[in-house]
Structure 1
Amino acid sequence: MRLLPWTGAGGKPCYLSTDDPGSPLSRLADDIEAAQLACAEQVLEGARAVLHDAKAGEHAVRFALVRAVESLGDVLRVAVSRGERIRGGDG
């Protein structure tokens, strides 16, 4: 079972059961994970810039923090999914 990089109704986790890592849904999940990780890199770069700007206002800091929290959630989900796959899905 693979934890997918998106959630279902009510924020519940979605899983894929397949032995084919090259299936269309597996490839889509891989592409979304790659996009999430790339986005997280950009968010991190932007958040660092805001934090190093002594003139950044509350709105800028709050925006950077909200984006960073979203990205952290995505990155943790990718890490959990990949960790489960490395261990063979046994948790």
Structure 2
Amino acid sequence: MTPHNELRLLPWTGPDGKPCYLSTDDEGSHLSRLADSTEVLQLGLAAALLDYMADVLGSGEADPQELRALAADLTEALRDTLRVAESRGHRLLAPVPATRADVTKGPVLPAAAFG
């Protein structure tokens, strides 16, 4: 769940190549759903490209032009995949910091025990 005060990195960039962000507390909004769908498509394309690359390399008959085109497609797919991973990583719930009450639940040693 995205806290409402954090921006979501979207799975596409603007026309100038800069990242795009969404500010919303509604994970079901039209733009949130579009971003989710785009991420699924991007990850699916990356998986398909990896499978295709394995086939091409396994055949041993790929010409250099085909390999360059495939490398370019894989580079773009990797860039998209990393953006999805970064976005999803930021949306993970942050761990709640321990309180003094949590820390003192275990055995308590006197200060002298630490020298």
TM-score > 0.5 by shorter chain: yes
Check if 1:84 corresponds to 2:90: yes
Counterpart residue type for residue 6 of structure 1:
W
Q: Which moved more, 1:61-70 or 1:26-35?
A: 61-70
Distance 2:58 2:71 in 1: 14
- Residue of structure 1 in register with 2:74 after alignment: 68
Check if 1:43 corresponds to 2:49: yes
What secondary structure sits across from 2:16 in the alignment?
helix
Q: Give the TM-score of the pair, scaled to structure 1.
A: 0.91
After TM superposition, which residue ranges in structure 1, 4 or more long, deviate above 4 angstroms? Answer: none
What secondary structure sits across from 2:61 in the alignment?
coil
Count of matched residue positions in the alignment of Structure 1 and Structure 2: 88
State the Cα RMSD in Å.
Answer: 1.1
Distance 1:7 1:70 in 2: 12
Q: Give the TM-score of the pair, scaled to structure 2.
A: 0.73
Higher-helix-fraction structure: 1
Distance 1:60 1:30 in 2: 31
What secondary structure sits across from 1:71 in the alignment?
helix
What secondary structure sits across from 1:4 in the alignment?
strand
